């Protein structure tokens, strides 16, 4: 579906249709390339660290969250173009075997003052594990086209 700015409204909630099961190999593979620290790359070494066991890099969690969003119904006419986050936190580690899903809620919709062809949608994004524990929360701003620019 091609959504424009005025198709978004405060209070709308979107849920990812898929769940992403996280394997230990995926955690280690991502970490070897982008975040090679012992608590992300090696089960045995991870035990003695802050995390007390293997945990996914926060950037891996963010990337898996993005994939769940791209595969969901939460899409604007230009795709998902993020201008940035007002806040992004990882309150709980992602562990091997976790199953992740995403819930997003629209909290603000506004037109651009300088560019009539675009606007901004602010939403609260929550990534949850199989126990409904939040593993990532953020407030994100999307750039969304208006029908003026279509």
- Kindly list the distances between the CA atom of residue 125 and the CA atoms of 24, 28, 83, 108, in Å, as whole numbers in the listed order: 25, 25, 14, 13
**Looking at 8-16, 66-74, 94-102, 119-127, which segment touches a second copy (CB under 8 A)?**
66-74
- Cβ(111)–Cβ(123) below 8 Å: no
The alpha carbon of 40 is separated from its chain's Cα centroid by a whole number of angstroms, namely: 19
Q: How many CA atoms lie within 13 A of 86 on its CB side?
A: 12
Residue 139's nearest CA partner among 104, 110, 101, 94 is: 104
**Looking at 7-15, 62-70, 101-109, 121-129, which segment touches a second copy (CB under 8 A)?**
62-70
Minimum gap (Å) between residue 43 Cβ and a second copy? 16
Nearer to a second copy, 30 or 123 (CB): 30
Among 67, 107, 111, 124, binds a second copy (CB under 8 A): 67
Among 14, 59, 105, 111, binds a second copy (CB under 8 A): 59
Among 9, 50, 131, 132, binds a second copy (CB under 8 A): 50
The alpha carbon of 145 is separated from its chain's Cα centroid by a whole number of angstroms, namely: 21
- Of residues 91 through 150, those in contact with a second copy by CB under 8 A are 143
The alpha carbon of 78 is separated from its chain's Cα centroid by a whole number of angstroms, namely: 18
Q: Which residues bind a second copy (CB under 8 A)?
A: 30, 33-39, 49-51, 57-60, 62-64, 66-67, 70, 78-90, 143
């Amino acid at each position: 579906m091609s959504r424009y700015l005025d198709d978004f409204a405060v209070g709308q909630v979107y849920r990812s249709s898929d769940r992403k099961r996280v394997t230990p190999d995926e955690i280690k593979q991502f970490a070897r390339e982008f975040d090679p620290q012992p608590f992300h790359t090696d089960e045995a070494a991870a035990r003695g660290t802050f995390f007390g066991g293997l945990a996914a890099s926060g950037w891996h969690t963010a990337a898996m969250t993005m994939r769940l969003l791209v595969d969901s119904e939460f899409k604007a006419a230009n795709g998902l173009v993020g201008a940035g986050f007002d806040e992004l936190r990882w309150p709980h580690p992602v562990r091997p075997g976790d199953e992740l899903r995403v819930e997003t809620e629209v909290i603000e919709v506004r037109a651009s003052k300088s560019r009539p062809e675009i606007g901004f949608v602010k939403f609260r994004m929550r990534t949850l594990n199989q126990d409904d524990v939040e593993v990532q929360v953020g407030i994100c701003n999307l750039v969304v086209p208006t029908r003026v620019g279509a």
